[in-house]
Structure 1
């Protein structure tokens, strides 16, 4: 496992079709996709130890749910329904943070610290959008 790419390096390799989707402009979405790719790599650390296998399965599931719920909610349109999916997404981010904490003994300290920081950023970006979507009124 080599050095993880920076967000900017990662964006440079994302297919243009994804970057041209209007959802890409929702700043938390690319961060959530980037985070999933990092979590995928981090599972390599966890899978080396029998105790880490259960953590890896839960971690990758919850990490994938962050961006998946943003995608599904966006596809449903704006308003209360989208707000629901953003709430599920933030719940998945918090769950993922918990799984990283549980697996911390099997991760390099700098990786653990970076992932928690990135999850905190994702949660902070999602939170105000939940209320904004709840208050959205169709014209």
Structure 2
């Protein structure tokens, strides 16, 4: 069972870590989120009302790292940016599904996943214009944690988020 990011990183096969893709922080965070989302969807499928929600959630969350990986492998910045935009869309979709799942997942789990997704979104919003060589086609947004902390100036919040990972209570028989 995953309890923190450092432990999780140690469990990743060296062949994955040897790829230069691993150097992208946003990729590592998205892959980590996909792993911990497994516990969340396991909990969600235990409730009849959230079975299809669990499927949609896991597809969206899994698409984030997959699109980052595919984009990273593209030859041009424009191509790369397109896949990073797909990853951004999946991150926002995942955030939407987590919001809908909050009734089954605990407040702690929901808040943690929302914060982690916010960090991933923030990183992607930085990477996309860098790849395109121009500004992104949407207004600049400030992302906050707990309505108090501006993420653009506080990496400490991300480190705290990665140290303690809440998991849903699984009712396994």
| Residue 7 of structure 1 pairs with residue 35 of structure 2 | no
Off by >3 Å, runs of 4+ in structure 1: none
| Residue 44 of structure 1 pairs with residue 42 of structure 2 | yes
Which blocks of at least 5 consecutive residues in structure 2 are unaligned?
A: 135-173
1:14 counterpart SS class: coil
Which residue of 2 is the match for residue 112 of structure 1?
A: 110
1:8-46 CA distance string (max 9 Å, x none):
110010001111100000111010000000111111110
TM-score, reference length from structure 2: 0.75
Which blocks of at least 5 consecutive residues in structure 1 are unaligned?
A: none
Written as runs of structure 1 = structure 2, the 5 A alignment for 1:81-100 is 81-100=79-98
**Higher helix share goes to which structure?**
1
1:86-125 CA distance string (max 9 Å, x none):
0010110000000000111000111111000000010011
| Structure 1 residue 78 displacement after superposition | 3.6
Aligned length: 134
What RMSD in Å do the two structures reach over aligned CA positions? 1.2
TM-score, reference length from structure 1: 0.93
Which residue of 2 is the match for residue 72 of structure 1?
A: 70
